[in-house]
Amino acid sequence: MDLEMVSYLSRLGKLSFTDEELKKTAEEMTSIIEIMDTIKEIDVEYNAFADNKNVYLNNLREDASEASMPTEKILQNAVNSKNCFVVPKVVE
Amino acid sequence: MDITKLKIRDMRTLLDSGEISVSELTHSYIDRIKKYDGSVKSYITVTEEHALESAEAAQKKIKAGNASPLCGIPMAIKDNICTDGIKTTCASKMLENFVPPYNATVMEKLNEQNIVMLGKVSMDEFAMGGSTQTSAFAKTKNPYDLNRVPGGSSGGSAASVSASLCAGALGSDTGGSIRQPAAFCGVTGLKPTYGRVSRYGLVAFASSLDQIGPIAKDAHDCALILNAVAGYDRHDGTSSKNPAEDFTAKIGMDMKGVKIAVPKEFYGEGIDKEVADAVLKAAEAYKQMGAELIECSMPSLKYAVPAYYLISSAEASSNLSRYDGIKYGHRSEIGENFNELICNSRAEGFGSEVKRRILLGNYALSSGYYDAYYGKALALRQKISAEYDSIFEKCDMILTPTTPSVAYNADENVSDPVKMYKADICTVTVNIASLPAISTTCGYNKDDMPVGMSIIGKKFDEASIIGAADAFEKSFAYKAPEMV
């Protein structure tokens, strides 16, 4: 995997790397992708209709409103002010 | 008598008869943690004050004759399970100061039983790893040999049970994270069927694979913990509505006529001979008990590791996108704008293994690569599940090694991600196929390190694999670590 691809993936993942870290990561990712590539040997097709057999997605609760967590609990792990999350300026 | 060495059910008898008090039991564990955890490093947070308060409440219940099966039992909880008002770090700098504003459903259930929580135990960062050496706070050691790893990611849970620093623990298993450390630390760990235990409040890694389960001294104790935490939960859309059952129902089961499949691929290339031999010896022991051994094959096993890493990393890359440094978690002090703040917070908060998984997940899901990687991995998931279905047409359970080797030295493997990934070969198919499996010790190698075997069951048939593990444990000569 080249440096350009690692930079692209890190932008997608909102990660930042120094040049040195980027180089090391590219080497590690190349070895990791080599193992992943072994699945190219086998010819199998994914059947979307046959899926969800293993994962239960149908037990959703009724779409009804109910009491939610109090604001102070939601903000307790954040930098906050006046009952709001504080973020850097987003509009110039 | 050292009461910390007892099984949970024996503690229950002594607590109910009044021979020991919950406070006495709790103090014994806290003393041991103070004495030994400096070297084992299984706990990230010890909640001594909370434990002593819980002990008092539990004692009142016992005195009133209202004790539930785990009332007053001192337990450790993996640090990716949310505990209201108590730090839950996921062993990551990202969540170093995170205090959940709610309890995971499993914690609500354990609290209803009046357990005594001794603290939160270490793990690989965000449950990504098999050594507990990626923990940002406590790189746990193996109680059998402090130079070796305890396995992972639930290494703190397994090591704390093994060293008698708690009576039982909860772990989580995405690709073997309960079973592999249980095998390395010579204890018993159970990964339930997907959907059996609610994931609400478990910090998400790979949502279609994650499952919470017990680690304890033996299968019977695991069943008691599973009894407490299993069941439908409306907060988890993937939680099963299968009725709750008594998982101790098959304790003492007769193995006569039970059909045990032995898939040849699990005993061949890449598996240490001493491990394969110990598990095959256990298979012979089952045969002596009257079980029937059936040879079988799982041809797709060689593709299981890549399929698992592609699916789990794809899901992780999405699940971990919630850590932005704004709502909770580490917030960088450097960041002129919104994007910079998020990138810097994530770069500083996540360790290198977590970053690699995010990159791999993004690669598998990105345009131009999706079909070749993620799509193919989903197809393999179906193929591996179908191969299990076919094997289960001919047998009741499947016997495999839990790990390719015994616990290795802390300076081996852990810096080579490829070696680490390949070591998951024996456990990942169980998560891929949503099955239950239990690992228990079946032997010791020449250095007296434990060897683990896994018994894989049909979906929602935890009771049978618990029964089979118990049948083996009853005749097995267990060796405790020296510190115990």
Q: What is the pLDDT of residues B24-43, one digit of tens each?
A: 999 999 999 999 999 999 99
First-to-last C-alpha distance (Å) of chain A = 37
Give the model's pLDDT for residue B82: 98
Dihedral of alpha carbons B374, A29, A17, B369, sign: negative
Assess B184–A contact: CB distance below 8 Å, yes or no: no
Q: How far is B230 from B245, CA to CA, in rounded Å?
A: 9
- Of B253, B307, B322, residue with least CA distance to B90: B322
The DSSP line for B131-179 is SS-S-SS----BTTBTTB---SSSHHHHHHHHTTSSSEEEEE-SSSTTH
Contact between B456 and B296 (Cβ < 8 Å): no
How far apart, in Å, are the Cα atoms of B464 and each of B175, B226, B250, B456?
22, 14, 6, 10
Question: What residue ranges of chain B have pLDDT lower than 70?
Answer: none
Rounded to whole angstroms, the Cα distance separating A20 from B352 reads: 13
pLDDT of residue A55: 56
Stretches in chain A below the pLDDT threshold 70: 51-58, 92
pLDDT (0 to 100) of residue B184 = 98
Interface test with A, best of B88, B344, B363 (most A CBs within 10 A): B363
The H or E element that residue B51 is part of is helix B48-63
| Structure tokens belonging to residue B181 | 């450390």
Which residues on chain B are in Cβ contact (under 8 Å) with A73?
101-102
Radius of gyration of chain B measured on its C-alpha atoms: 21
In tens, the pLDDT along B90-111 reads 999 999 999 999 999 999 999 9
pLDDT digits (tens, 9 = 90+) for B302-315: 999 999 999 999 99
Cβ neighbours of A78 in B, within 8 Å: 326-328
Q: Which residues of B are catalytic?
A: 78, 153, 177
Cβ contact, residue pair A36, B417, below 8 Å: no
Identify the CA nearest to B43 among candidates B11, B5, B75: B75
Q: Is the peptide bond before B153 cis (omega within 30 degrees of 0)?
A: yes
CA distances (Å), B271 to each of B145, B186, B442, B449, B456, in order?
A: 21, 18, 15, 16, 18
What would the pLDDT profile of A19-43 be if each residue is shown by its tens digit? 999 999 999 999 999 999 999 999 9
Look at B310 and A15 and tell me if their CB atoms are within 8 Å. no
Query: Rounded CA gap, B76 and B434, in Å?
Result: 25
Cβ-Cβ contacts under 8 Å, B331 against chain A: 79
Distance CA(B467)–CA(B472), nearest Å, equals 9
8 Å CB contact between B215 and B171: yes
> How far apart are alpha carbons B79 and B76 in whole angstroms?
9
Nearest CB among B235, B236, B305 relative to A35 is that of B305
Closest residue on chain B to A58 (Cα): B237
B418 interfaces chain A, CB cutoff of 8 Å: yes
- In this predicted complex, what is the ipTM? 0.94
Would strands B74-78 and B168-172 be described as parallel, antiparallel, or unpaired?
parallel
Please give the model's pTM, rounded to 2 decimal places.
0.97
446-465 of B, contacting A, C-beta below 8 A? none
For chain B, how many helices (H) and strands (E)? 15, 11
Residue B7 identity:
K
Q: Give the pair of three-digit tokens for residue B35.
A: 């004495």
Q: What pLDDT does residue B306 have?
A: 98
Of A59, A69, A87, the CB nearest to B101: A69
Q: Residue A51's pLDDT is what?
A: 66
Cβ-based neighbour number of residue B2 at 10 Å: 9
